[in-house]
């Protein structure tokens, strides 16, 4: 079992908080599609596993036209062994989801849409320089549902400077009213060199309050629990049957290949990533060469990575796997070290062989994981 990720590095405008790789000029879009097709062909023998999930992310993959989707799908299906019922997700911005686009997505066999809504308040959307309004976002969801899309997820950001307890509750209530089966919700991170960082520095936007984010995380967790959602990963909630198969396979260390500038790949002990520059990426592929850099992960790095992803999920980490994958020494380190100390404080559950972080403490998870790192 494996996953494919396609990174479409273009956006209509730059959201103030975002530091993902994208360009607001679409001049190179046609060449980019050709370059990504070449990358798909050049790497066709990298994986022997069947592809069970395909994820189109970005940037804004919903701004592509029919021909771009069709060409990339055609190349992908021609060169990769795709399973019988793959999960095929498209990250979509609300302003792209008109009736025609939704119909096209269905015809192209996308079966999951991830809509970046971020907030149902116009002042927050404006503050973040989003293209769409709250109403646009709501109608986009309703249109996708009317067209028959069931597997829908949305993104909401908490801990925003202009937010407060009742505004956040409204966001979660709106999500629940819309009867969407999956939610990804992230705490606003002030990334370096973003417009958000600058605007906070010059006092145009208030600083992010950690305490507000903490409260909103718990409000969200409680409201989602009361409504039958499974909090299966730090930032993800699903109704039964609607977990993201693609993301779960990342967290369970299944191999994946990422195509397009800045996309990462992982297979066994190797991590690789494409150059985060559209022109350089296109130039390499035009010359028939990959724009990839590779890194061989050490046992220590793989163990730390395993903790980083595993402990953020409800499945936690498996001590048997720690021994078989990283060696006895590592297992002793894990068990004897910080683990007992953390266990005494009820931060971790120990369930036979599985070690799971108590979700009540997810908000402080980075500190917990750092205590268990092999340094
Ligand atoms: C990189 S975006 C791509 C999806 C799509 N372009 C959109 O804007 O909805 C994926 C998600 O990451 C989240 N995100 C990006 N930057 C973030 C930040 N600095 N803090 C919190 N969440 C962030 C947003 O929720 C966003 O929907
Ligand atoms: S949040 Fe999405 S739309 Fe906004 S700049 Fe980032 S990738 Fe583009």
Q: What is the dihedral of CA 171, 173, 176, 178, to 10 degrees?
A: -70
Q: Which of 10, 59, 125, 126 to mutate to test the pocket of ligand 2 (most atoms within 8 A of CB)?
A: 59
As a whole number of angstroms, the distance between CA 248 and CA 97 comes to 26
Pocket of ligand 2 (CB under 6 A): 11, 14-15, 18, 20, 22, 58-60, 93, 116
| The pLDDT value given to residue 343 | 67
Enumerate domains of the chain plus CATH numbers. 2-250 (3.20.20.70), 298-375 (1.10.10)
The label of the residue with tokens 């309703």 reads 142
CA angle 302, 304, 307 (to 5 degrees): 110
As a whole number of angstroms, the distance between CA 93 and CA 187 comes to 19
Q: Which of 24, 58, 126, 191 to mutate to test the pocket of ligand 2 (most atoms within 8 A of CB)?
A: 58
| The pLDDT value given to residue 332 | 85
As a whole number of angstroms, the distance between CA 260 and CA 258 comes to 7
pLDDT tens for 28-66 read: 999 999 999 999 999 999 999 999 999 999 999 999 999
Minimum-distance ligand 2 atom for the alpha carbon of 11: 8
Provide the percentage of residues in the chain whose pLDDT is more than 70: 98
- Higher pLDDT among residues 311 and 335, named by residue: 311
Long-range contacts of 31-34 (CB under 8 A, 24+ apart): 31/282, 31/286, 32/8, 32/260, 32/278, 32/281, 32/282, 33/64, 33/68, 33/71, 33/72, 34/285
pLDDT tens for 82-101 read: 999 999 999 999 999 999 99
Minimum-distance ligand 1 atom for the alpha carbon of 118: 25
Of the pLDDT bands very low, low, confident and very high (cuts 50, 70, 90), residue 278 is: very high
Of the pLDDT bands very low, low, confident and very high (cuts 50, 70, 90), residue 257 is: very high
Do residues 15 and 3 lie in contact, with contact meaning Cβ atoms separated by under 8 Å? no
Partners of residue 293 on adjacent β-strands: 273
Q: What pTM was computed for the model?
A: 0.97
As a whole number of angstroms, the distance between CA 10 and CA 62 comes to 10
Terminal CA-CA length for the chain: 31
Q: What spacing in Å lies between the alpha carbon of 354 and ligand 1's midpoint? A: 31
For residue 93, what are its two tokens?
A: 């911005």
Q: Is the pLDDT of residue 342 over 80?
A: no
Query: 129: burial class by Cβ within 10 Å (0-12, 13-18, 19+)?
Result: middle
pLDDT tens for 168-226 read: 999 999 999 999 999 999 999 999 999 999 999 999 999 989 999 999 999 999 999 99
| The pLDDT value given to residue 302 | 94
Mean pLDDT value across residues 114-139: 98
Q: Is the pLDDT of residue 150 over 90?
A: yes
Do residues 272 and 293 lie in contact, with contact meaning Cβ atoms separated by under 8 Å? yes
């Amino acid at each position: 079992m494996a996953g494919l990720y396609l990174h479409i590095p273009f956006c209509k405008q730059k959201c103030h908080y975002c530091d993902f790789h994208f360009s607001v000029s679409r001049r190179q879009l046609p060449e980019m599609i050709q370059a990504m097709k070449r990358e798909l062909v050049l790497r066709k023998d990298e994986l022997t596993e069947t592809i069970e999930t395909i994820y189109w992310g970005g940037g804004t993959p919903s701004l592509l036209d029919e021909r771009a989707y069709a060409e990339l799908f055609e190349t992908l299906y021609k060169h990769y062994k795709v399973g019988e019922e793959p999960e095929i997700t498209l990250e979509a911005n609300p302003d792209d989801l008109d009736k025609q686009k939704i119909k096209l997505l269905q015809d192209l066999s996308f079966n999951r849409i991830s809509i970046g809504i971020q907030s149902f308040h116009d002042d927050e959307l404006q503050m973040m320089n989003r293209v769409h309004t709250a109403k646009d976002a709501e109608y986009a969801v309703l249109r996708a549902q009317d067209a028959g899309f069931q597997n829908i997820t949305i993104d909401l950001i908490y801990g925003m400077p202009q937010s407060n307890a009742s505004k956040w509750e409204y966001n979660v209530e709106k999500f629940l009213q819309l009867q969407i089966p999956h939610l990804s919700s992230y705490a606003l991170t002030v990334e370096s060199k973003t417009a958000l960082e600058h605007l906070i520095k010059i006092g145009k936007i208030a600083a992010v309050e950690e305490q507000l984010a903490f409260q909103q995380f718990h409000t969200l967790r409680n409201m989602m629990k009361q409504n039958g959602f499974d909090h299966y990963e730090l930032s993800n909630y699903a109704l039964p049957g609607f977990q993201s198969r693609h993301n779960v396979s990342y967290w369970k260390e299944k191999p994946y290949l990422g195509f397009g500038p800045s996309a990462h790949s992982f297979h066994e002990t190797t991590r690789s990533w494409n150059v985060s520059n559209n022109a350089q990426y296109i130039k390499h592929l035009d010359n028939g060469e990959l724009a990839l850099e590779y890194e061989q992960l050490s046992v220590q790095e793989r163990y730390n990575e395993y903790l980083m992803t595993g402990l953020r999920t409800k499945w936690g980490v498996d001590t048997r796997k720690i021994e078989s994958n990283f060696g006895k020494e590592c297992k002793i380190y894990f068990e004897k070290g910080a683990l007992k100390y953390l266990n005494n404080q009820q931060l971790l559950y120990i369930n036979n062989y599985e070690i799971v972080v108590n979700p009540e403490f997810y908000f402080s998870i980075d500190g917990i994981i750092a205590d268990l790192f092999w340094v």
